[in-house]
Amino acid sequence: MTKITFVTSDDNSITVEGNTGNVMELAVQNKIKGIDGNCGGVCSCATCHVHVEPKDWEKVGAPSTMEADMLEFDEKVSDYSRLSCQMKVTDAIDGVVLKVAK
């Protein structure tokens, strides 16, 4: 099982576990406030935007071009922005901390 910690905009820290699907789906299953995933995970709506803790950036990796284009001018963008629907839940990201973008 892969452990992922979400930090919501009201500073609640919630650690959840999963082994399939993408990170947005895992967040929705666990009712993480601020992660909606309205488009169902096809990189179309940016309602699953997270800021990766800088220490975890290498584990998570950089976004694809399509995803980076969606993020570049987003009002909540940071140097560590990702759309969580584009991140697969795998061992490689075990232990990462993701802040819901605000």
Partner 1 sequence: MAADTSLDKICVIIGASHAGVNVAFSLRREGWEGKIVLFDSDPEVPYHRPPLSKAYLKADDDSQLDLLFPKQNYISENITLCLGKTIVEINKESNQISLSDGSIQKYNKLVVATGARPFIPPIKGIDLASNLFSMRNFADAVNIQKAIISSEEKRVVIIGGGYIGLETAASLRKLGAKVTVLEREKRVLARITAPEMSTFFSKLHQENGVDLLANKNVILIETSEGVNKLLCDDNTTYTADLIVVGVGIKVNTELAENAGLVIENGIKVDSNAKTSAENIYAIGDCTYHFNPHYNRFIRLESVQNAVDQAKVAAAAICGNEVEYDAIPWFWSDQYDVKLQMVGLSTGYNQTIKRIEDNNEKCQSVWYFKDEELLAVDAVNNGKAYVLGTRFIKAKQQLDKEKLMDVSIPIKQTSFLKD
Answer for which of 16, 27, 46, 87 binds partner 1 (CB under 8 A) is: 46
Instruction: Give the residue, chosen from 1, 10, 11, 42, that forms a contact with partner 1 under the rule CB under 8 A.
Output: 42
CA angle (58, 40, 5) in 5-degree steps: 40
CB 50 within 8 A of CB 61: no
Burial of 56 (0-12, 13-18, 19+ CB in 10 A): middle
Q: Write down the least CB distance from residue 55 to partner 1, Å.
A: 27
Q: Give how many residues touch partner 1 by CB under 8 A.
A: 24
Q: Which of 12, 19, 38, 90 binds partner 1 (CB under 8 A)?
A: 38
